[in-house]
Chain A
Amino acid sequence: MNATARRGSGWTPWLYLAPALVVLAGLLVYPLYQLGLISFLEYTQAQVSGGEPTTFKGLGNYATLFGDPQFWQVLLATVVFAAACVLATLSLGCALAVLLTRIRAVPRLALMMAALGAWATPAITGSTVWVFLFDPDFGPVNKLLGLGDHSWTYGRYSAFALVLLEVVWCSFPFVMVTVYAGIRAIPAEVLEAASLDGASRWRIWRSVMAPMLRPILVVVTIQSVIWDFKIFTQIYVMTNGGGIAGQNLVLNVYAYQKAFASSQYSLGSAIGVVMLLILLSVTLVHLRLLRRQGEEL
């Protein structure tokens, strides 16, 4: 009697959750399922439009992918580039957030507006403007720095650096605004006590603010990792779809080139699955580490 009642009450929440779960399954699980399924098939334009039958390839697409030295090179470039972007975005965002709490209303407003402007600019517009600024023939940056007709997109690292600047420019506002809101929520007495004890600004950030902001920093970091790992528009626009001889390819652009430019949908799906697994494991490991340290999100 008692057991039945308990089981009944155990199922009730699911009944209420069902509508939401159905929507979630339709929007998330089904596309993921299709992605996974296609990655096991031979599925190119010929199969889509019925020129050839769709066949099961097993792990064939993954074998092709992992056997391609370019994939490993692109993967490495993506990881390093994303890490650099996340680091640069977070440090700039946090530094400016701290700065925001220390300046008067007018400069604060100006900084806020500038940041929001960068944030609101669509990635494709930002990238196009950025490329124009650094154009070897017409760009004002070269004129200002007296670099003549130096081409920023010719060298691999200078092209990546250029894209990094744009990515940081358009994604630091999110970090700044979020962290600024977090800092505002820290009781003033705590900070006052720290400065009365003679702590330097760096020390206050490291020992007082950062620990108290931890949940916010975690969310911001994971967000940035996911965004920067999946970077597409900036690379695609600024390096003309992957740079000279594909030197600036990152995974997402590589997947696009495979899936849509050359219609190998199944190979593109396999890259998508690999990306998904990497991001999922990065996020899980990160959450796991935090939990060990006794923090709850």
Chain B
Amino acid sequence: MKLSARIAVPTAGFVLAGLAGLTATGCAPQTSDNSAKKDEKSGTLRVWLFREVSNEPKQKVVDRAVDAFRARHQDADVEIEYIPVETRAQKIKAAFNDPKSAPDLIEYGNTDTAGYVKDGGLADVTADFEAWAEAKDTDPAAKQSVTVGGKVYGAPLFVGVRALYYRTDVFKDLGLRPPTSQAELVTTAKKIRKAKPAMYGLAVGGAYTYGALPFIWANGGELAEESGGTYTSAIASPAAQKGIKAYTSLFGPDNCPAAKCAEMGGNDTVTAFASGRAGMAIGGDFSHAAVEAGKVKGKYAVVPLPGVRAGEIAPAFAGGNNIGVLKSSSHRTLAVGLMKQLTGKKTQEELFDAMGFLPTYTDVRETAAKKQPFVEPFIKTLAAGAKAAPASPGWAQIDSSLVLPTMFQEVVSGRKDVAAASGDAAKKMNDAFGAAR
């Protein structure tokens, strides 16, 4: 005790003195200034794009676009860096935190738009976008994915949408036909499981939010409703609850046992399908390569995910990536030029040929469908009206704090009923929307 008393007093003095010194030199946690100081017309433009599983074809397309850009801007240099998708969140946050070493342009997932705008990271390019001739053919869902509060913060690069993959051989064996309504989807799934107990009927995942959303939307539910720029959760509405019930009814010994499927995410369900362990799965156009590389190559087909009534298509989640200019860029005009080059019709057409990414321009997409029949169900799904996540910065927080997976898992594991779980989720969502206002 004696010893500690002797240490305590001088240490306290020392700490206080230290604090005083720190206060004088500014000890508040760091805040970066992301506003651009100048708009240089020459120099090096730095770009961060996502590294895809097989990146080379993407790289070739991008290199051609950059060459075309350089031909028009002789004194501008372009440096492209491919960043891993898994660590993009940290990297982009770091770029916002340290504008000096930040790139001029970034590729980003469209669910992050509102969050990045609130972070003060993306530049408003509304005027440039409106004045751009090609942008007129951008499909409305894609345009919405770069728009926050009526302003445009980037240009869409491609859209991603999910549809129903099914095993043609299994369906033929069992005398089944592709389901045309949600009820038929469920009964078909259970029939497959009954006949082939080693298989999931329809592979579903408790953590597969974007596979579950079409069920909510098809039943007339919504994630959130907007009025005057503020969002309120609608996940506990009767219609949404009906959708949650429909999705969670697929978890169980008669289709996809909860003990395994509650934990699965989107990739797990696609992997299960690709390795032949599922009769059906909800996968994206971007999953095509993974399925082709699996055991089921040549033994599957894709149809749009059916809606509630026969013949309807369930609204899909419109995913995809955008390219935006950073607010801190000191080459704004050049950067906007490069953004148009990278997301222009010609580049998107080439990107589709190389990578299978669906173009965001309706006319380019139509040409693409003629060239590659496998994209047809996805384009049909998009044409039937795909939906985006709420354009609130709160959405990024809802997404990353796993509000919806938690809700599905609570229902699936029998911990809460649909009403209680969706009520709790709605409360958490409203907290996030409120905090982000």
Contacts and interface: CB of A to CB of B under 8 A. Distances in A.
B261 to A, nearest CB: 10
Contacts of A21: 11, 14
Given A37-B28, A41-B29, A136-B259, A52 B118 contact: yes
Nearest to B10: A14
A49 B413 contact: no
Nearest to A45: B119
Residue of B11, B31, B35, B406 with most chain A CB atoms under a 10 A cut-off: B31
A50 B28 contact: no
Give the one of B19, B206, B259 with max A CB within 10 A. Answer: B259
Interface string A271-297: 000000000000000000001000000
Interface in B386-437: 393, 396-397, 400-402, 405-407, 409-410, 413, 415
B29 A154 contact: no
Given A47-B31, A154-B413, A29 B18 contact: yes
Contacts of A50: 31-35, 96, 120
B262 A154 contact: yes
A49 B326 CA distance: 12
B410 A49 contact: no
Interface string A18-33: 0001000100011001
A54 B260 contact: no
B22 interface: yes
A232 interface: no
Contacts of B34: 49-51
Contacts of B407: 245
Interface stretch (A76-84, A185-193, A220-228, A256-264): A256-264
B18 A30 contact: yes
Contact of B263 (A30, A54, A244, A264): A244
B60 interface: no
B96 A45 contact: yes
Contact of A48 (B97, B405, B406, B409): B97
Given A37-B28, A38-B29, A46-B118, A245 B400 contact: no
A280 B121 CA distance: 39
B31 A48 contact: yes
B15 A25 contact: yes
A270 to B, nearest CB: 14
B100 interface: no
Interface string B85-125: 00000000100110000000000000000010111110000
Interface string B118-143: 11110000000000000000000000
B293 interface: no
Interface in A233-252: 240-241, 244-246
A43 interface: yes
A64 to B, nearest CB: 9
A25 B14 contact: yes
A49 B206 contact: no
B53 interface: no
A48 B30 contact: yes
Interface residues of B, number: 47
In this complex, the interface size class of chain A, counting residues with CB under 8 Å from chain B, is 35 or more
B24 interface: no
B31 A54 contact: yes
A245 B413 CA distance: 9
A38 B34 CA distance: 21
A9 to B, nearest CB: 14
Contacts of A4: none
Contacts of B117: 51
A86 B334 CA distance: 60
A203 interface: no
B397 A51 contact: no
A171 interface: no
Contacts of B15: 25, 29
Nearest to B18: A25
A54 B29 contact: yes
Nearest to B258: A154
A284 B207 CA distance: 42
A108 interface: no
B22 A30 contact: yes
Contacts of A30: 18, 22
Contacts of B415: 245
Nearest to A153: B263
B5 interface: no
The 8 closest A-B pairs by CB, nearest first: A51-B120, A49-B96, A245-B409, A151-B259, A154-B259, A262-B401, A244-B409, A261-B400
Interface of A: 14, 21, 25, 29-30, 33-34, 37-38, 41, 43, 45-54, 136-137, 149-151, 153-154, 240-241, 244-246, 257-258, 261-264, 291
9 contacts: A21-B14, A37-B27, A46-B393, A48-B32, A50-B32, A54-B28, A136-B260, A154-B262, A244-B413
Interface of B: 1, 10-11, 14-15, 18-19, 22, 27-35, 93, 96-97, 115, 117-121, 206-207, 257-260, 262-263, 393, 396-397, 400-402, 405-407, 409-410, 413, 415
Given A244-B262, A244-B413, 14 more contacts: A14-B10, A29-B15, A38-B29, A43-B29, A45-B119, A46-B118, A49-B96, A51-B117, A53-B31, A54-B31, A149-B257, A151-B259, A245-B405, A264-B397
